[in-house]
Amino acid sequence: MKKLMYFALAIAVLGFVAGPIMIAAQGKAPGTVILKGAPMGGVKFDHAAHAKAAGGDAKCDTCHHASKPEKASAAPHQKCQDCHTKVPTPPMKTKAQAAFHDAMAKKGTCIDCHVTQKKGPAKCAECHKKENT
């Protein structure tokens, strides 16, 4: 019985110490990431600069949408490619490329913002680079 109490106490202490650390780590947005998988090359994406331009972390939904009922989030912050794969995997219907822009890069999450804000790259090779692998 005494061992069980010590074990329960150890678990509780671990939870109080590790819990806040794990929560803080999950809530931290990435710095610069390479979005891979496009035939023209990866996109070097400065997440911190984009978050700042969108108004800080309070505006995450400017680019990120809430999870869908058919594919719930596994974590508070996930990479787009965790759900949006090169070829859509059911229950997902939107492939990775379409999550960012349409086939001709004339509209979509990235391009719409760059055109509306009148800043940022608007041509394929300005984002997609072979060296970004």
Residues 37 and 25 in one domain: no
Residue 67 has pLDDT above 70, yes or no: yes
Question: 49 or 7, which is more confident?
Answer: 49
Residues 58 and 89 in one domain: yes
Question: 100 or 25, which is more confident?
Answer: 100
Question: Given pLDDT bands bounded at 50, 70 and 90, which one contains residue 6?
Answer: very low
Question: Given pLDDT bands bounded at 50, 70 and 90, which one contains residue 10?
Answer: very low
Residues 88 and 133 in one domain: yes
Residues 88 and 129 in one domain: yes
CATH of the domain at 91: 3.90.10.10
What pLDDT, on the 0 to 100 scale, is given for residue 129? 95
What pLDDT, on the 0 to 100 scale, is given for residue 22? 38
Question: Are 41 and 131 spatial neighbours (Cβ–Cβ below 8 Å)?
Answer: yes
Token pair, residue 84, equals 């949006």
- Rounded Cα distance, 28 and 32, in Å: 13
| DSSP codes of every residue in 71-119 | B--SSSS--GGGTS-SS--TT--S-HHHHH--TTSSSSHHHHHHHHHT-
What pLDDT, on the 0 to 100 scale, is given for residue 15? 43
Residues 15 and 57 in one domain: no
Residues 42 and 23 in one domain: no
Residues 56 and 101 in one domain: yes
What pLDDT, on the 0 to 100 scale, is given for residue 27? 59
pLDDT digits (tens, 9 = 90+) for 24-33: 344 577 889 9
Residues 17 and 57 in one domain: no
Residues 53 and 116 in one domain: yes
Question: 94 or 23, which is more confident?
Answer: 94
Residue 89 has pLDDT above 90, yes or no: no
Structural domain for 101, as ranges: 31-62+79-133
- The mean of the pLDDT values for the chain is 78
**Any domain includes 72:** no
Please give the tally of structural domains in the chain: 2
Residues 25 and 35 in one domain: no
